[in-house]
Structures are given as structure tokens and as C-alpha cells.
Amino acid sequence: MHRRWIAILSVSLALLVPGAFGQLHTKNVVLIVSDGLRWQEIFTGADAALINEKHGGIWESAEELRRKYWNDDPVKRRKLLFPFLWDVVVSRGQIYGNQSKGSVARVTNGMAFSYPGYNEMLTGRGDPRINSNEFGPNPNKTVFEWINGMSEFHGKVAVYGTWNVFKNIFNQPRSGLPMQVGWDLPAKETSQLSPRQELLNQFYRTTTPLDDEDVWDSFEQTALLDFLKPGAKPARGPSNRPRLLFVGYGETDNWAHSGRYDLVLESAHHVDEFVRQLWDTMQAMPEYRDQTTFIFTTDHGRGSGLEEWKEHGVEEKGSENIWLAVLGPDTSPAGEMSGHTPVTQSQIAATVAALLGQDWRQANPDAAPPLDRVMKRTAAARP
């Protein structure tokens, strides 16, 4: 009996200690978040009940929207909306959160809106003190700040996000992380700007914003790809070759709050293309090729009714439900998961660290454990 319990304890510890996964091939991690993008669209595509003016607030013709994104088969329909996610990410990686198949992914912060969600995924636990998007600088150290404090990674961690509140979420004054967020100009104002950098700065200066907090996703994407492309001189931050990168897109949430389901679909489709562009760009670079893991998720869910889809929070049932996809050299191609123990947003922080060979829970014992199922492909098992 004694030996039996020792064996069980050994297996349990192996699931929680990064080194127990064997020699990981991942050298770089990219955490990508599409704000407020529902699991329903991820797994079943466009919602027929919302492709209309009455409930979906669409301006585009319903016929045109259906031509782009509708098929009676939900498997084909979701691929119309997210071709890269389903043709590449899921076929070569894993995705969680399809509740119709018994796969549950959820937040644990009890708030189900943005700042608490980002804090949870970046620190490994919810914090009841963070009860507003206007909370201010995050008192909690994120896994990004922690990783950046290590000599191996210092100066090789970066944050790109459309929302200016990321400055508070990552506590930029304390963390010192290089960030390109909100409407901040992507290139520092110097006499050495290239024509392309000056043009992008001009777009940032002269484009009418949807609001003062969020830049357009396409603007951020352009700045991000310019930052990463081979041979580029970094316009912001000490390095344009980050080992750990955060990318946050915001339009999927903004258009839902505006009641524009047509633009939710368009922006979700664009995010899928942006992730493809980012993957292709990094796979074309020797320092990233076949040694980079993408974690793609959302910060919260939303309601599921004809009006409730526009909002989220504890008042809107279902807002706690999210989805999470992983693609990388250490993640087995298990595809769409079903019937497993629920995964939580709080497991992302330790997973990011473990993929980089670090133990986040050693420094933060109250944090949730890593998602061991996304790191079971070791050197010996890799095909």
C-alpha cells in the first residue's frame, strides 16, 4: 500500500513540475486573446438568430452575411468564420470549451469581465479586489513581469494590445515591460523614421477612434508584424525578437457591446487571419520555427440570448464560459477535446511558464496548475 501511494504521488507531481514533461521543444510562447469572443461562434460559427437587423443590429444585408458565413452544417460553418483555427490550430493542436461535447473552459474570478479575466490568466488566480476595468495599476505580478525578471528572458518579453488598460493590467511602471497599446504611436518620433513608420504613425494620429481606449485591430496587427519581421529595427522596446509575447485584439468585444453582430463576425474572421499571419511570420524565422507555442483564448464569455449576447458579467448567465486553443511543438494533435475535467482561465499563467521551463507555482503557490495535457509531447514521443 505504501509503495502504491508513493507511485500515485510521483505521477501527480510529474503532472505539475515542468521538468517532468521531458525536454520541451518550445523556446517561445505567444499568448493571444480575442476579447469577449463567445465559445458559441468558435464551435458552431455564425448564429442564425442574430443574422438580422432586429436582434443582430446588422447593417449589411442578411443575404450577403449568409453568403460569407453560413452553412447548415455547423462544422463547415465554423470553418467559414475561423479557417485557420480549424484547419491548422485544431488539426495540429488542441481546443477546449465546446460544452456541447462536455468540454468546459471557464473563468474563476467571479466577475466575467475584462480586467479580472486578464488578471486571472496572467497571475493564475482571481483577485476580488479587481472589480472594475478602472481599477488602476495591478498590485499582482504577472507571469510576464516574472519571466522578464529572469536573465535568460530579460528584454525579450513584449506586450501588444489594442486596449490602453493593458498598461495597468501589466503595471507598466513597475514591470518595465515594453508595450504597444491603445492609441500610442507605434514608432517613436525621431528623424530616423522610415516612410512606412511615419505613415502608420499618421494613421494613428488622424483616424477617428471608436473610443479613446481601443485602437483598431488592423492598426495593431500592422505595428506587430513590422516589429517582428526579419531585419526590422525595433521602434519600441529593447528587442524585436521576444521569447514571450502577449497579443490582445479588442474589436470582437467592442462590436458586440455596440449590438453589431455583422461586425462581430467580420472582426472575428479578421482575428483568425491575424493569427495566421502571425504564425506564418514566425514560422518563417529560424529563431521561431517549430519552437514556438501559441495559446489562443478569450478573457470572458457573454450572454446567449437574443439581447444578452451584447453583454457579459455575472448578471449574464454563461459569461463565465470561455474557450482555449493551443498549437505548438510540445502539444499533441488531439484536436477538439470532449468530456475532460474542466479547464480554467487561471491555468494559463502556469502553462506559459511551464512551456518556457519555469515553475510559476513555486513563486506563487496559490496559482492554478499548468494544463499538463498541452505539454505531454516530449522529445521521445514527438513524431
How many alpha carbons fall within 13 Å on the CB side of residue 41? 32
Taking the C-alpha atoms of residue 132 and residue 240, their distance in angstroms, rounded to an integer, is: 33
Region 255-261: what's the mean pLDDT? 97
pTM summary value = 0.92
Predicted local confidence at residue 20, as pLDDT: 52
Residue 301: predicted pLDDT: 98
Asked if residue 170 lies in contact with residue 143, where contact means CB atoms within 8 angstroms, the answer is no
Share of the chain above pLDDT 90, in %: 85
Query: What is the chain's mean pLDDT, rounded?
Result: 91
The pLDDT of 214-221, averaged and rounded, is: 98
Minimum mean pLDDT range among 102-116, 163-177, 246-260, 363-377: 363-377
pLDDT in tens, 278-291: 999 999 999 999 99
Q: Are 96 and 343 in contact (CB under 8 A)?
A: yes
pLDDT of amino acid 48: 97
**pLDDT at position 33 over 90:** yes
Give the model's pLDDT for residue 339.
86
Confidence of residue 16 (pLDDT cuts 50, 70, 90): very low
Query: Could you give all domains of the chain from N- to C-terminal order, each with its CATH number?
Result: 24-375 (3.40.720.10)
Q: Which three cell numbers stand for residue 121?
A: 490568466
> Taking residues 180-184, what's their average pLDDT?
97
Q: Is the pLDDT of residue 379 over 50?
A: no
pLDDT for residue 138: 98
Alpha-carbon span 184 to 201, nearest angstrom: 9
Is 372:11 a contact under the CB 8 Å cutoff? no
The residue type found at 196 is R
Find the helix or strand (DSSP H, E) in which 90 lies.
Answer: helix 90-92
Q: What are phi and psi of 244, to 5 degrees?
A: -135, 125
CA proximity to 372, closest of 13, 82, 111, 103: 13
User: Residue 232 above 80 pLDDT?
Assistant: no
Q: What is the mean pLDDT of residues 293-297?
A: 98
Going by pLDDT thresholds of 50, 70 and 90, the confidence category of residue 370 is very high
Is 383's pLDDT higher than 60? no
Q: Which of 120-129, 145-154, 234-243, 250-259 has the lowest mean pLDDT?
A: 234-243
Q: Which 3-state string (H, E, C) describes 253-313?
A: HHHHHCCCHHHHHHHHHHHHHHHHHHHHHHHCCCCCCCCEEEEEECCCCCCCCCCHHHCCC
Q: What angle do CA 23, 178, 151 make, to 5 degrees?
A: 40
| Strand 324-327 with 28-34, pairing | unpaired
Average pLDDT over residues 269-296: 97
At residue 210, the pLDDT reads 86
Partners of 94 in beta bridges: 326, 335
